[in-house]
Amino acid sequence: MSRADEPSAEFDQRDEPLISLENVEVNFEKDQGLFDLFEEPDVVKAVDGVSLDIEENDVLALVGESGCGKTTLGKTTIGLQRPTGGTVTYKGQDIWAAKDGDGEIPFDEIRSSLQIIHQDPGSSLNPNRRILNILAEPIKLTHPEAGTSERRERIHALLERVGMNPPSDFADRYPHQLSGGEKQRVALCRALLMNPDVILADEAISALDVSLRVEMMDLMLDLQSEFDTSFVFVSHDLSNARYFAEHGDGRIGVMYLGNLVEVGPADQLIGDPSHPYTNVLRWATPNLSRQSGEAGEPPMRRIDIPDPVNPPSGCRFHTRCPEAREACREVPRLQQSGEAAGHRVACFRDDPNHSYWDSDPLTEEGD
Ligand SMILES: Nc1ncnc2c1ncn2[C@@H]1O[C@H](COP(=O)(O)OP(=O)(O)OP(=O)(O)O)[C@@H](O)[C@H]1O
């Protein structure tokens, strides 16, 4: 059943990323009150100018404070959210051109290749159907030739694989007869049965007991290599993002107010963060700040998060950044940082020749 066993597709010979985001923007209009109906609506730039590639068998953990745009970026990556600017391509095909009927790869095929597991799997499992029937649906779509007994065999084998034993017992149950962790395993099985190229795990372990989180992350990573799929793992917790990226030999992407501010290999990014905001996240994560010996005062000038409707101009972190200088009123681009492959940062401090070093520090009044 592993995709590795399937004959190589035409795509394998090409040199393009599985998914490519180019300068992606997602703006949302905020709901207006009755008295504001004649005013221009407020716009939240949930994702702003993000460029990122997802390769085959890739692991990317997106991390950042609540509201920074992780979920929106994840959903845009898998074609669930239409960007208001920029492009998202799947195997070179513009996903939204395909949606509008203009493309070589049909939109339905793209959508079924890009799956999601939510924080609350219960809400996405039909309460009136047994697990066997819930899991039969994706097999009917991907392998319409499979008969009832073949479908049952595959479902039982997969339930066993995710630790739900005896599988015949679990297959007969309804979702409400499962624990949170078991429901999440069923959601994972359902996603895998679509033979996906990418699974977005959106805070998929956040609602689980702490003791189950590592087990679930290990399971996702084992299945990631067995099923030859990629994972985009969204978490507000840097230690979980680190675990997932490190054990999956992948990258961490740090988001701040709609921007991707640093992306790179987990050990590099956590051991030696290049962006002052990554440093803040590390400071705010108890087991990581202890390791780096930096507990104490937050490495920030202000604690409060700016209004996403009116984010700071230039570097969005400059109003809180302890290193901010006049030069930070300009927008820094995400650029290669140091020698480590794939380590990119959006901070002028990373360039020893940047005019940042000659500009004046920003004061409280000056920002
Ligand atoms: N459908 C929507 N309509 C209006 N605003 C939205 C919508 N979805 C998200 N937003 C806003 O976009 C911004 C980014 O939201 P998003 O859910 O992507 O962030 P997040 O980092 O995943 O946060 P959290 O961890 O709290 O889920 C927030 O300011 C949010 O309020």
Domains plus CATH for the chain? 3-128+174-358 (3.40.50.300)
Q: What are phi and psi of 117, to 5 degrees?
A: -120, 130
Single-letter residue type at 235: S
Rounded Cα distance, 339 and 343, in Å: 8
Q: Would you say the ipTM is above 0.95?
A: yes
Question: Which amino acid residue places its CA nearest to atom 12 of ligand 1?
Answer: 46
Rounded Cα distance, 179 and 158, in Å: 18
**Cβ 46 under 6 angstroms from ligand 1:** yes
Rounded Cα distance, 6 and 58, in Å: 19
Question: Which amino acid residue places its CA nearest to atom 3 of ligand 1?
Answer: 28
**Cβ 66 under 6 angstroms from ligand 1:** yes
Question: Which amino acid residue places its CA nearest to atom 30 of ligand 1?
Answer: 67
Rounded Cα distance, 141 and 158, in Å: 17
Neighbours of 283 (CB within 10 A): 20
Q: What is the pLDDT of residue 92?
A: 95
- Cβ atoms 191, 116 nearer than 8 A: yes
Question: Which amino acid residue places its CA nearest to atom 24 of ligand 1?
Answer: 66
Contacts of residue 223, Cβ cutoff 8 Å, sequence gap at least 6: 161, 162, 188, 192, 229
**Cβ 44 under 6 angstroms from ligand 1:** yes
Q: What is the pLDDT of residue 295?
A: 61
Rounded Cα distance, 48 and 44, in Å: 10
Q: What is the pLDDT of residue 364?
A: 66
Q: What is the pLDDT of residue 365?
A: 53
**Cβ 69 under 6 angstroms from ligand 1:** yes
Single-letter residue type at 10: E
Alpha carbon 182 to its chain's center:
22
- Cβ atoms 178, 194 nearer than 8 A: no
Q: What is the pLDDT of residue 98?
A: 95
| Torsion 271-275-280-281 (CA) sign | negative
Rounded Cα distance, 224 and 250, in Å: 12
Counting ligand 1 atoms within 8 A of each CB, the residue from 32, 63, 72 with the most, and so the one to mutate, is 72
Contacts of residue 210, Cβ cutoff 8 Å, sequence gap at least 6: none
Ligand 1 atom at shortest distance from the alpha carbon of 29: 4
Tokens of 303: 């604690």
**Cβ 258 under 6 angstroms from ligand 1:** no
Counting ligand 1 atoms within 8 A of each CB, the residue from 68, 235, 309 with the most, and so the one to mutate, is 68
Tokens of 113: 């290749």
Q: How far apart are the first and last CA of the chain?
A: 57
Neighbours of 178 (CB within 10 A): 19
Cis, bond preceding 196 (omega within 30 deg of 0) = no
CA dihedral (118, 51, 58, 270) in degrees, to 10, reads -90
Residue by residue, pLDDT tens for the chain (367 residues) are: 334 334 344 444 457 899 999 999 999 998 766 666 667 788 999 999 999 999 999 999 999 999 999 999 999 999 999 999 999 999 999 999 999 988 899 999 999 999 999 988 878 899 999 999 999 999 999 999 999 999 999 999 999 999 999 999 999 999 999 999 999 999 999 999 999 999 999 999 988 888 889 999 999 999 998 999 999 999 999 999 999 999 999 999 999 999 999 999 999 999 999 999 999 999 888 777 666 656 677 778 777 888 889 999 999 999 999 999 999 999 999 999 988 888 999 999 999 999 999 999 987 654 5
Rounded Cα distance, 283 and 285, in Å: 6
Question: Which amino acid residue places its CA nearest to atom 5 of ligand 1?
Answer: 28
Q: What is the pLDDT of residue 297?
A: 72
Ligand 1 atom at shortest distance from the alpha carbon of 258: 14
Question: Which amino acid residue places its CA nearest to atom 29 of ligand 1?
Answer: 67
CA dihedral (83, 195, 104, 72) in degrees, to 10, reads 0
CA–centroid distance, 113 to ligand 1, in Å, is 24
- Cβ atoms 175, 125 nearer than 8 A: yes
Q: What is the pLDDT of residue 73?
A: 98
For strands 59-63 and 251-256, give the pairing: parallel
Q: How many CA atoms lie within 13 A of 232 on its CB side?
A: 29
* Nearest alpha-carbon partner for 359 in 318, 311, 313: 318
Question: Which amino acid residue places its CA nearest to atom 14 of ligand 1?
Answer: 69
- What's the residue count for the chain? 367
Q: Is 83 helix (H, G, I), strand (E, B) or coil?
A: coil
